Amino acid sequence: MQRYFVKHRTNENSFVIDADDRHHMIKVMRMEIGDKVICVDPKGDTAVCEIAKITDEHVVVDVVQWIDEKSELPILVTIASGLPKADKLEWIIQKGTELGAHEFIPFSARRSVVKWDEKKSAKKIDRWQKIAKEAAEQAHRGMVPDIVSPMNFKALIEKSKNFDYKLAAYEEESRSGESSIFSATIQKMKQGESLLIVFGPEGGLAEEEVGFLQENDFVLCGLGPRILRTETAPLYALAAISYHFELLRR
């Protein structure tokens, strides 16, 4: 059954679906009145719905049954990625969404080859948000992760003040055999608490960036004995967090 995130309600038991989702339902999936879909409202509540009305602008669906569905990680994980080359950030957003990330923060690092173009920012962010939405639908998430507009390193530090825990993945820690900090951090976290993890671009974080992170209460951590690519490391961390909170404790 197709899944859609909905924003508009006509009443307590009806939703309005428009724009790209309406096009997907009618033009791509060829749905008709009476067909059923799954809808997720802005609060994350999920329901099986039936198409009741189709117009040129929107589709109205009526709730058939509310579903008690829990698919979100119990902690809020934000991935901060130093802007990488090519489409690597799209990969991080897509797969990171499937693995349960709550938010993504791209930032300009010293070793970022890609330079952020403000003139193209709106289109880029819209594309990233669409990738996150489609990945969230595919993964049966209860929410779509937010994609923050790319920021500089100083702004990232300022934003980090809002988090309960802060880690920075640093390859020198992996080389030296450090393996306990990441595990120890997630073991002491409680439901609803927030975690920000910073990952460098290709080439990693520069030494002065690492020092600045430490001065602002970030803890450096390794992610096992192998050196991971910039697009692999966030997924490794999310998978480990999912295992700890969702599989190990069952």
Within this chain, do residues 100 and 193 fall inside the same structural domain, yes or no?
yes
Within this chain, do residues 46 and 90 fall inside the same structural domain, yes or no?
no
Within this chain, do residues 114 and 31 fall inside the same structural domain, yes or no?
no
3-state secondary structure of 232: coil
Within this chain, do residues 36 and 135 fall inside the same structural domain, yes or no?
no
Note the pLDDT tens digit of each residue in 203-247: 899 999 999 999 999 999 999 888 899 999 999 999 999 999 998
pLDDT of residue 179: 65
The domain tally of the chain equals 2
Last residue of a domain, one of 48, 67, 86: 67
CATH of the domain at 151: 3.40.1280.10
Question: Which residue ranges of the chain lie beneath pLDDT 70?
Answer: 173-179, 249-250
pTM attached to this predicted model: 0.89
- The pairs formed by 26-30 with CB atoms below 8 angstroms and a separation of 24 or more are 26/54, 26/59, 29/2
Within this chain, do residues 124 and 8 fall inside the same structural domain, yes or no?
no
CATH of the domain at 7: 2.40.240.20
Within this chain, do residues 97 and 205 fall inside the same structural domain, yes or no?
yes
Tell me which residue of 74, 24, 19, 53 sits closest to 193, measured CA to CA. 74
Within this chain, do residues 104 and 131 fall inside the same structural domain, yes or no?
yes
Within this chain, do residues 43 and 80 fall inside the same structural domain, yes or no?
no
Cα 202 to Cα 16, 243, 244, distances in angstroms: 43, 27, 28
